[in-house]
Structure 1
Amino acid sequence: MRADGHDVTNSSVQRALRRRGLLLPQGFRADRKSWAVLRRRVFHDPPTERNRVWQTDFSEFETANGGIWRISAVIDYVTKYCLAITVTPTSRGRDAVNCIRQAVAEATHLLNLADLRQDRGVMDVYNDHDEIIGRTPAPIAIVSDNGPCYRGKDFQTLFTGQDPLLRHIRTRVKTPQTNGVIERFFETLKYEHLFRGYICDGDALDMEAHHFRIIYNTIRPHQAIQDRTPKQAYLNPINQENLPIS
């Protein structure tokens, strides 16, 4: 503005920018550092408690009548519990949002909570000098790949608000192993269940997918969680079990 011949002060420009929402919020850099720490912990220091990291993805399945459908699911990283599974003809942002919302509703109901925020962890808050200045509740990290449905505006609506329940973390490009729990779930779903039967259309696929979810969560034991079912691990935290009786 000064180059154009206008006599203005820095404070006037700042007020004008603030009124139009063009200024970064106070503590923005500290917030970015905090999320960077959370991202590192998600990928390099895996959590040991439920509802800290969820993984989600889509997988395609072709039915006997030739229709191609998309299966979406949400898996709790620690307990392997399948919180939600959906079958849709498309894999758009709104389809991904619907599956995540079903997962939140399932977790809230299963734990008999009024708000799932009651069962989340905490994270350190850093200042510009990488010093810890406090702790704050940590949203549940939703880990997805870099598909267009997870990069669009529809999916980002899950992470808005003053106190978001969820935080989105995308895997690095060409590193599917980072989302390995959900990938393994889809492999198990297909090879242990779907490929063994005749599935003619989308309705049959939806029924079989939900049927397998029940088997997977409540009947099928899992070596990674001490040969228990995911539901047992989800309702009974692993780090509190098998303690000696005094």
Structure 2
Amino acid sequence: MNKIADRYPRFGYRRVHALLVADGWEVNVKRVERLWRREGLRVPPPRSKASGQKALGTDAHSLWMLPATSQGHVWSYDFMSLRTAKGAGLRVLNVIDEFTRICVGAHVGYSIGATEVRHVLERIFEDHGRPQMIRSDNGREFIAASLLNWLKDDQGVAPVQVAKASPQQNGFIERFNGSMRDELLNREVFHSLAEARVVIGQWVEHYNHERPHSGLQMRTPIGYAAYIATQPSLSTAPCERGE
């Protein structure tokens, strides 16, 4: 069953049962379902075509129309997806400061809805303070009324969404996600949620403290933050500094 799930990660237990029977296994579908759940295997449910709320984004919220001009001015966040060796789906919520490129948070979970996004942000705000704005796409977790109202009314943070289907308008978090995918996720095999959290956390530390960034004059994000602290007149927006 695990071998079939590894080979066909989009198959559910019923289809796997059919393949087992075709291969000569005398096993009923209920037993396969019990084993499937015990092994933590599952297929993410298909997304509904209607999220319940229309896209809120606009071109005026793009990174070049609304650039970060200082540390803590604009953060951005987005999701990534991956699978464990046994086919269990995981999500990663990444949050970065656009001006310094510091990753202020990378939370890994099985399923991360709007409520958990809020809890993650609460912890990050405690550790790093609050940004003036936080940029996202129009994912249903990010445009949920409960999250938007909490950000605006309780935290004093302005949520801004880029135009629908325009990931380039949120380019800094897209670039960060691409680096994480290329340098880590495509090279690692994760066997559990706990392992993914540890390994991804270690990579974020490396990214922040050790990895030179071409958009920061080959400084690390932490190194660049220390540098601009000694240059109070430095206010060039990240999109003008190049990638």
Same fold by TM-score greater than 0.5: yes
Q: Which residue of 1 aligns with 2:139?
A: 147
* Contact 1:74–1:99, Cα closer than 8 Å, also in 2: no
Paired residue type of 1:159: K
Q: What SS does the corresponding residue of 1:84 show, helix, strand or coil?
A: strand
The answer on 1:188 being equivalent to 2:179 is: yes
What stretches of structure 1 of length at least 5 have no aligned partner? Answer: 1-38, 109-115, 117-138
Separation of aligned partners in 2, 1:177 and 1:166: 23
Call closer, same or farther: CA 1:40–1:65 in 2, change over 3 Å: closer
Cα-to-partner distance string for 1:73-107 (whole Å, 9 max, x where unaligned) = 11011110000110011131012212322332232
* Contact 2:76–2:173, Cα closer than 8 Å, also in 1: yes
Larger Rg: 1 or 2?
1
Call closer, same or farther: CA 1:69–1:237 in 2, change over 3 Å: same
The answer on 1:68 being equivalent to 2:98 is: no
Q: What SS does the corresponding residue of 2:70 show, helix, strand or coil?
A: coil
Q: CA RMSD in A?
A: 2.4
Call closer, same or farther: CA 1:242–1:228 in 2, change over 3 Å: farther
Relative to the length of structure 2, the TM-score reads: 0.65
Q: What SS does the corresponding residue of 1:200 show, helix, strand or coil?
A: coil
Cα-to-partner distance string for 1:34-64 (whole Å, 9 max, x where unaligned) = xxxxx56854152231111100011111111
Aligned residues: 174
* Contact 2:63–2:170, Cα closer than 8 Å, also in 1: no
Q: Work out the percentage of aligned pairs sharing the same amino acid.
A: 26
Paired residue type of 1:98: H
Paired residue type of 1:153: A
> Which residue, out of 54, 76, 97, partners 1:55?
76
* Contact 1:88–1:95, Cα closer than 8 Å, also in 2: no
> Which residue, out of 108, 119, 123, partners 1:98?
119
Separation of aligned partners in 2, 1:195 and 1:207: 16
Q: Which residue of 1 aligns with 2:16?
A: none
Q: Which residue of 1 aligns with 2:222?
A: 231
Paired residue type of 1:160: D
> Which residue, out of 138, 152, 156, partners 1:159?
152
The residue correspondences of 1:1-246 to structure 2 (distance < 5 A) are: 43-108=64-129, 140-156=132-148, 157-161=150-154, 164-237=155-228, 240=231
Larger relative strand fraction: 1
* Contact 2:114–2:144, Cα closer than 8 Å, also in 1: yes
